[in-house]
Amino acid sequence: MRDELLKNPVFAMAANQFDQVADFLALDDELRERCKWPKRLITVAIPVRHDDGNTKVYFGHRVQHHLTRGPVKGGLRYSPDVDLGEVAALAMWMNWKCALLDLPYGGGKGGINCDPRTLSMGELERITRRFTMEMIPFIGQDIDVMAPDMGTNEQTMSWIVDTYSTHAGRLVPGIVTGKPLCLQGSAGRTRATGHGVAFLASRALNKLGIDVGSATAIVQGFGNVGLHTALTLASYGVKVKGVSDISGAVWNEAGLDLNKLADHVAATKGVVGFAHGDAVDPAEMLCRECDILAPAAAGMVITAANAGQLRCKVLAEGANGPTTPEADAILAARGDIFVLPDILCNAGGVTVSYFEWVQNLQRYSWSEREVLTKLETKLEAAFARTLAFASQHGIGHRHAAQALAIKTVAEVKAQRGMFP
Ligand code: NAD
């Protein structure tokens, strides 16, 4: 199994990161093995009748990295590229994120190798319900709690709740998070990740002695994370001068009108053609001068090619894996950019997912203000722990965040003994 997983380049990268941190922590061989490899890799066949009457078998994967600190938590993605090794890597990273934020979860991830853009709602519903049925022996609100990811959404989560609850004979909203409000979703979940990115970016500016109210920002991506990062930054008085998405990039030296931009994107599906800004080259925009650069779209966009040219003070990683290891080394050598690593910076989403689960278990709901205040408390604590550990050991923030997370898991495994 080890060799099979390591054949996947994404898993190999995650395993390599783990090995480096394990060396730094001087983990003994036994703990290293127990922390590194996933506890359960589950693959199920999902036969589904298509609208044209033909039946096709899809494959669904779920990786539960470990259950040592509680149920596993992580998204379920629908994509033709889903691969067990990649799912295992994403589960490992979720594991670290949950540990860093001190959420009582292990990491999980799942995926089905289907292309949601080519499937009807009926086909998607049948795939989701059949996958849920196949997964029933392995999931539960105390075992594995899924959430939306690429290609899945509130509707997907609602079908999982319905299928699981019908089987259980009672409503079990805590089986997933990312549900709509009418099905006991949480207030604040939609904006949580972007709110967290903006909150932590403002805390980084505080540390650098830069006035947040007169700061400037550039945001890559204007989907869920990018939009809410930009809106929250603007609510602090930050001037968001540039925004890009898959269609292009727009710039306004005086600050973009984000509500007008959101309306434009809702109407045209992209930022390109926005009347109240100038079209600029999206790659060049990333290297313009600003206080906060927030890559909140895709992975591997800060590379060896542009890391040396960045002119931001804070790099707030809203996306997962936006910075390549080569770029990271360049940023470390420069030493003039405050990096907020992804497992910390975008952890607002999983933190409010955790709050959603807690509210479901309590059969109680909190106001958006309550949710966001609790979110900021959690993020602030993880931010402070990361900065203190980095300065204590003279290491970068990314390395510190990963080391704190792996140390947390290793301590619990050692404390519990051999079984976990
Ligand atoms: P989304 O699908 O809502 O939006 C993605 C945005 O990125 C769109 O505006 C799209 O046009 C843009 N985009 C895609 N490729 C691009 C490219 N090459 N250059 C510029 N823009 C590009 O997705 P999202 O939920 O906002 O997620 C964005 C990132 O944040 C992903 O890496 C995701 O894994 C990560 N993330 C999301 C959450 C969450 O709660 N949604 C939580 C943690 C991490």
Question: What pLDDT is stored for residue 183 in this prediction?
Answer: 98
Q: How far is the CA of 320 from the centre of ligand 1 (A)?
A: 9
Residue with tokens 């979720």: 94
Question: What pLDDT is stored for residue 419 in this prediction?
Answer: 66
Q: Which helix (H) or strand (E) holds 149?
A: none
Q: Indicate if ligand 1 lies below 6 Å from the C-beta of 414.
A: no
In angstroms, rounded to a whole number, what is the distance separating the alpha carbons of residues 357 and 343?
A: 20
Q: Which helix (H) or strand (E) holds 90?
A: helix 84-100
Q: Indicate if ligand 1 lies below 6 Å from the C-beta of 349.
A: yes
**pLDDT (mean) for 354-383:** 98
Whether 38-175 shares its CATH topology with 192-340 is answered yes
Q: Report the percent of the chain where pLDDT is more than 70.
A: 100
296: confidence class by pLDDT, cuts 50, 70, 90: very high
Indicate the domain borders of the chain. Answer: 38-175, 192-340
Name which residue sits closest to atom 31 of ligand 1, judged by CA.
319
Question: What pLDDT is stored for residue 390 in this prediction?
Answer: 98
pLDDT per position as a tens digit, 203-259: 999 999 999 999 999 999 999 999 999 999 999 999 999 999 999 999 999 999 999
Name which residue sits closest to atom 43 of ligand 1, judged by CA.
346
**pLDDT (mean) for 198-204:** 98
In angstroms, rounded to a whole number, what is the distance separating the alpha carbons of residues 109 and 98?
A: 13
Q: Indicate if ligand 1 lies below 6 Å from the C-beta of 354.
A: no
Q: Indicate if ligand 1 lies below 6 Å from the C-beta of 136.
A: no
Q: How far is the CA of 246 from the centre of ligand 1 (A)?
A: 10
Pocket perturbation via mutation, ligand 1, pick of 179, 225, 303 by most ligand atoms within 8 A of CB: 225
Atom of ligand 1 minimally distant from the CA of 350: 42
Pocket perturbation via mutation, ligand 1, pick of 78, 224, 350, 379 by most ligand atoms within 8 A of CB: 224
Q: How far is the CA of 156 from the centre of ligand 1 (A)?
A: 18
Q: How far is the CA of 237 from the centre of ligand 1 (A)?
A: 24
- One-letter amino acid for residue 264 of the chain: H
Q: Indicate if ligand 1 lies below 6 Å from the C-beta of 346.
A: yes
Contact 242, 250 (CB under 8 A): yes
Question: What pLDDT is stored for residue 391 in this prediction?
Answer: 97
**Nearest in space to 366 (alpha carbons), one of 376, 356, 375:** 356
pLDDT per position as a tens digit, 323-347: 998 999 999 999 999 999 999 999 9
Q: Tell whether the model's pLDDT for residue 404 goes beyond 80.
A: yes
In angstroms, rounded to a whole number, what is the distance separating the alpha carbons of residues 14 and 65?
A: 12
**pLDDT (mean) for 385-404:** 97
295's tokens: 């890559």
Q: Tell whether the model's pLDDT for residue 420 goes beyond 60.
A: no
**What number of H helices and E strands is found in the chain?**
15, 12
Question: What pLDDT is stored for residue 418 in this prediction?
Answer: 72
Q: Indicate if ligand 1 lies below 6 Å from the C-beta of 283.
A: no
Question: What pLDDT is stored for residue 83 in this prediction?
Answer: 92
Name which residue sits closest to atom 23 of ligand 1, judged by CA.
223
- What mean pLDDT is reported for the chain? 96
| Contacts for 393 with CB less than 8 Å, ≥ 6 apart | 400, 403
**pLDDT (mean) for 303-326:** 96
Q: Indicate if ligand 1 lies below 6 Å from the C-beta of 220.
A: yes
Q: Indicate if ligand 1 lies below 6 Å from the C-beta of 246.
A: yes
Question: What pLDDT is stored for residue 1 in this prediction?
Answer: 87
What's the CATH number for 192-340? 3.40.50.720
pLDDT per position as a tens digit, 109-124: 999 999 999 999 999 9
Q: Indicate if ligand 1 lies below 6 Å from the C-beta of 224.
A: yes
Task: State the catalytic residues.
Answer: 109
Pocket perturbation via mutation, ligand 1, pick of 98, 245, 272, 280 by most ligand atoms within 8 A of CB: 245
Choose between 325 and 260: higher pLDDT. Answer: 260
38-175 CATH fold: Rossmann fold (3.40.50)
Q: How far is the CA of 251 from the centre of ligand 1 (A)?
A: 19
150: confidence class by pLDDT, cuts 50, 70, 90: confident
**pLDDT (mean) for 182-191:** 97
Contact 97, 405 (CB under 8 A): yes
Q: How far is the CA of 229 from the centre of ligand 1 (A)?
A: 11
